[in-house]
Chains A and B, each alone.
Chain A
């Protein structure tokens, strides 16, 4: 009898205190959450404005350089931005030098884009239109890794002329490398060594303790990216995921997200039981995570088709930690397009066109 009473007593003592503590904890967090939301909203506004601003700057600066001025131009939607700012107190006059990428902001996390590339006829075209996309994204750092013995002049010149913030690396994948005993598929999947080199470069360049916020994204040179995608990935805390169109023989593959906003599976037909059934273009990793786990790399050999992404992600994060983006993985913001190999029949054996002309 006294024992039961003791238990009752303990319960009655402990219960209100635990309730008190949890409630107190909640009340301390709530104002912080509200502020973070406000921060996010403001950051979103600033992302959108530079896009329009970038256009205006190019037009203005173009005129400035050539000494002409535009008459009436295309002032479509600046009105909606300006209508509300009747209460601006300070007028900051900033002189912008004509730079094609948007001006660097010291608040936005940098997006490090790792693109492996290799020489083929469409290479310059692919890199050109990819660069045209990246020129719209603020705080972008392009890490281009060539699959070649030496850095080619084509890519070197292209990077220099584009005006993007870039790092140019190269590593050659050994061709026809035969492993003793591994007869299934001795080849290293394309782009793996290049991506690993970029990861190593990031780890050597950035200190784990520094406060530089960064996001790492693997972008192949033939895919198509919407500008919204880069703003979605900027808020990645560990690893964020979203749907990708035209992969796995489907209109799109996407992570399965439950009502609580957590990823619990993969909506794919091709092997949905992979640890991470997602395409290279469907996720982004926070730089801090890359630096904290310096052993995590893409597995070079013995990787089954479709398991490349899992080989890296399983060392970094669990399914529960994934952050779904793109409106809880319901919008398509990246397309896994592939460019046709051009038919060069008329070149013949000796080559019809002048080889000195770069394409």
Chain B
């Protein structure tokens, strides 16, 4: 009896094992092939086809807008050339990122970025390429004796002079080569990388014939500085600091027409000018006060703010670096 039982059990076992093994092999083979489970795919498939439809729609839109641009005969909007000097520091990438996000909304804008550096840095190059803007990437190092040292107050030496002049030089050279010569439409604006610009200011400055001006917020130790306008003409400037300057304005408070820049090839910023006279050193040779064009609703609205970004505190980082445990340098900040 026991022997028979044993035998039966053994065969049962073997049979069972073989069946299981065959089932396993079958399942493994199934893994390699495409499954026919349509009831699982429905919602995902639908989403994908909807997304594809949208994608194609967008692509068609782009293609159509490209095609319709070709046969244009009417004059284009004047291009705004924005000259931005920049220099490497911790917050540089953040500043340029949010600046580019503002500029991306402005049609016909050409961004001229001039680095204070002996060569173009990959951080700025990559950022400009990814920004989607029309740009020119230049560089011009500031001479050592004119450069602000660590710990110097920001007003000690003028900043961005060589870079803005380099931007002007490139612009003159580039525009000379364009058809239309000195009669080209365009506006030149000097935008620092830490200020805040509303989108309206760019539309206001587009109609500049010679030099247009407007108020600037949070500058000169006041809530705003502005030109005072009477009967459509600028008669004086409302500022709390040295109002006797020829043009007591901030860099962000005026724009110059391209024609004027091309017609005065010698006009540039003077780095030796006394503090606060940088803007005047440029504008003096170009225009007189009564020729200024007031914008922003007769200089009554603030559309640009002279914001400044705090230097981030790096105490812990410096402590770590002293121990050789600083954060990964390969990660770009």
Residues of A within 8 A of B (CB): 9, 12-13, 16-17, 19-20, 23-24, 26-28, 30-32, 35-36, 38-39, 42-43, 45-46, 49-60, 62-63, 68-78, 81-82, 85, 88, 90-92, 94, 96, 100, 105, 107, 121-122, 124-126, 128-129, 132-133, 135-136, 224-227, 243, 245-246, 248-252, 267, 269-270, 330-332, 335-340, 342-347, 351-353, 357-359
Contacts and interface: CB of A to CB of B under 8 A. Distances in A.
A45 B21 CA distance: 45
Contact of B55 (A35, A46, A90, A227): A46
Contact of B62 (A81, A132, A245, A251): A81
B300 interface: yes
Contacts of B58: 46, 49-50, 53
A53 B59 CA distance: 9
A19 B17 CA distance: 13
Nearest to A87: B56
Interface string B100-124: 0110110110000000000000000
Contacts, number: 301
B76 A71 contact: yes
Contacts of A52: 62, 132
B134 A122 contact: no
Contacts of A12: 13, 16-17
A357 B240 contact: no
B62 A332 contact: no
A78 B221 contact: no
A132 B101 contact: yes
A193 B8 CA distance: 76
B320 interface: yes
Given A28-B37, A88-B60, A245 B102 contact: no
A23 B60 contact: no
B217 A125 contact: yes
Contacts of B41: 31-32, 35
Given A92-B60, A100-B105, A46 B221 contact: no
A56 B65 contact: yes
A57 B24 CA distance: 58
B66 A78 contact: yes
Contacts of B17: 12, 16
Nearest to B219: A342
B222 A352 contact: yes
Given A45-B55, A132-B105, A344-B223, A16 B72 contact: no
Nearest to A133: B101
B4 interface: no
B22 to A, nearest CB: 10
Given A12-B13, A12-B17, A353-B238, A337 B300 contact: no
A125 B307 contact: yes
A25 B59 CA distance: 39
28 contacts: A23-B28, A28-B37, A28-B40, A32-B41, A35-B45, A42-B51, A49-B62, A52-B132, A53-B58, A53-B62, A55-B104, A56-B61, A70-B76, A82-B66, A100-B105, A124-B302, A126-B196, A129-B98, A129-B197, A135-B105, A250-B320, A337-B94, A337-B309, A339-B309, A344-B222, A347-B221, A353-B238, A357-B300
A251 B90 contact: yes
Given A251-B333, A335-B94, A353-B238, A344 B224 contact: no
A39 to B, nearest CB: 5
Given A39-B47, A63-B77, A357-B301, 9 more contacts: A16-B21, A16-B24, A23-B24, A122-B307, A128-B198, A269-B316, A337-B95, A342-B219, A357-B215
Contact of A88 (B28, B59, B104, B313): B59
B86 to A, nearest CB: 15
Q: Which 6 A-B pairs have CB atoms at the shortest separation, nearest pair first?
A: A346-B240, A249-B316, A16-B20, A346-B221, A335-B94, A125-B305
B316 A270 contact: yes
Interface residues of B, number: 97
Contact of A339 (B30, B217, B238, B308): B308
B18 to A, nearest CB: 10
B313 to A, nearest CB: 5
A353 B299 CA distance: 13
A135 B101 CA distance: 9
B170 interface: no
A51 to B, nearest CB: 7
Nearest to B203: A62
Contact of A125 (B51, B59, B90, B196): B196
B74 interface: yes
Interface string B240-283: 11000000000000000000000000000000000000000000
Interface string B295-324: 000001110011111101111110110000
Nearest to A342: B218
Nearest to B56: A88
A359 B48 contact: no
Contacts of A42: 48, 51-52, 55
B44 interface: yes
A264 B218 CA distance: 45
A62 B218 contact: no
A36 B54 contact: no
Contacts of B94: 224, 245-246, 335, 337
Q: Which of B76, B218, B226 has the most CB of A within 10 A?
A: B218
A240 B300 CA distance: 45
A62 B66 contact: no
Given A12-B17, A16-B17, A346 B69 contact: no
A336 B197 CA distance: 20
Contact of A9 (B13, B47, B50, B306): B13
A332 B331 contact: yes
Contacts of A250: 314, 316-317, 320, 327
